Homo-oligomer: A and B are copies of this chain.
Amino acid sequence: MTEQQASGDGVTGARHGRRPTMSDVAEKAGVSRALVSLIFRNAPGASEQTRQRVFDVAKEIGYRPDTAARTLASSRTRTLGVMLTIRNPFHADLVESCYAEADRVGYDIVLSTTVPTRDEERAVDALVGHRCEALILFGPKMSAAYLTQLSREHPVVAISRKVPDATLDSVHTAEAKGVRQAVDYLVSQGHRDVIHIDGGAGPGSAERRKAYRAAMRKHGLAERIRVIPGNHTEDSGMRAAEVLLSEDALPTAVLAANDRCALGLLGALHKAGVKVPQEVSVVGYDDSRVAMLSHIGLTTVHQNADELGRLAVRTAVERIESPNAPARELVLDPELRVRDTTGPPR
């Protein structure tokens, strides 16, 4: 690493003084603080002329409303808290649709991500601390007990997680249906050795695992059922590949926990010289936009991110407006998207 002193004004001068407040604007514009407040809230009751002058003054002295003070003073924050895993490309898709819908209904969004050094509880704490009026959790892995407790204290919408006897709203895809489609398709192609890398405690994993077992049994392949433990990261796909490659024979098809897992698996297989789909077919889950774009052409179970995000925001807002309404579960239909990582068995 090299370090240089920027060639600009060298010493950057006495900057970053006291942050201007509403009173500063009011004083400079020759009006009361209350009027400035009113104007910045877009409330009626100020003349157009004064309004303009206040905005001009504000811009001139670099005034921006203080979110903290606003939040504190008003009972409403009109803010939704979103917990996500930033590494997950599917979550990026969801975030975009959430923003779009939140804009439409006049809410702000605050993001809080989990990273390896920051668990879900910390991410949630940050959102609650910001006084979000509702929490939208993308594929939460937290315990059902914690989730239930949380939903007692705040409006909570879970995406891609079904909670039995739920006291919270959830929006998800019919996991079983997606898995069934995938297995049916693989079997119709002639596959019999279809294995599943599961998502561990990840959202929807239990349902997918169950559905995989059921679908295999339906096709009379109960004896070929095999589940390799995994999770929702690329790493689990790579590890599963190691396991498979260490054995005598590869299965002819693998149903991965999600797209990330599938990508990890593909990477490891590719490194080992295994041809996809000639030697092994691979199916993902999510259809995150990246999977579609890359030249991988991943066959995967499509979840409608736009719709999931939109519904989550709408449900959250409705929950805020009527906290005592019955908990709802919105279920979207998935759809298998056949691309290039699947084909007939070798």
Residues of A within 8 A of B (CB): 1-16, 19, 62, 64-72, 77, 86-87, 89, 92, 95-96, 99-100, 103, 108, 110-113, 115-118, 125-126, 128-131, 151-155, 163-170, 174, 234, 238, 263-264, 266-267, 269-271, 276, 289-290, 293-297, 307, 311, 323-333, 340
Contact = CB atoms under 8 A, between A and B. Distances in A.
A164 to B, nearest CB: 8
A163 B266 CA distance: 40
A4 B328 contact: yes
A325 B16 CA distance: 12
A86 B100 CA distance: 14
B95 A5 contact: no
B293 A270 contact: no
Contacts of A103: 117-118
A6 B290 contact: no
Contact of A269 (B13, B68, B153, B295): B295
Given A113-B111, A115-B96, A155-B16, A1 B128 contact: no
A266 B290 contact: no
Contacts of A333: 1
Given A86-B86, A130-B68, A328 B95 contact: no
Given A16-B155, A72-B68, A113-B111, A330 B3 contact: yes
Given A3-B329, A276-B295, 16 more contacts: A1-B331, A9-B165, A10-B326, A10-B327, A12-B167, A15-B153, A15-B324, A16-B152, A62-B153, A64-B129, A67-B68, A68-B130, A70-B129, A111-B113, A267-B297, A270-B340
Q: Which of A4, A269, A311 has the largest count of B CB atoms less than 10 A from its CB?
A: A4
Contacts of A108: 126
30 contacts: A1-B330, A1-B332, A2-B330, A3-B329, A3-B330, A3-B331, A5-B327, A5-B328, A8-B167, A10-B327, A15-B151, A15-B153, A15-B324, A16-B152, A64-B125, A67-B130, A68-B68, A68-B77, A86-B96, A87-B92, A89-B290, A99-B115, A103-B118, A111-B112, A234-B289, A238-B293, A267-B295, A270-B295, A294-B294, A294-B296
Secondary structure class of chain A's binding surface, majority of residues: mixed
B117 A99 contact: yes
A155 B12 CA distance: 10
A6 B165 CA distance: 7
Contact of A3 (B62, B289, B328): B328
B86 A15 contact: no
Pick from A165, A295, A325 the residue with the most CB of B within 10 Å.
A295
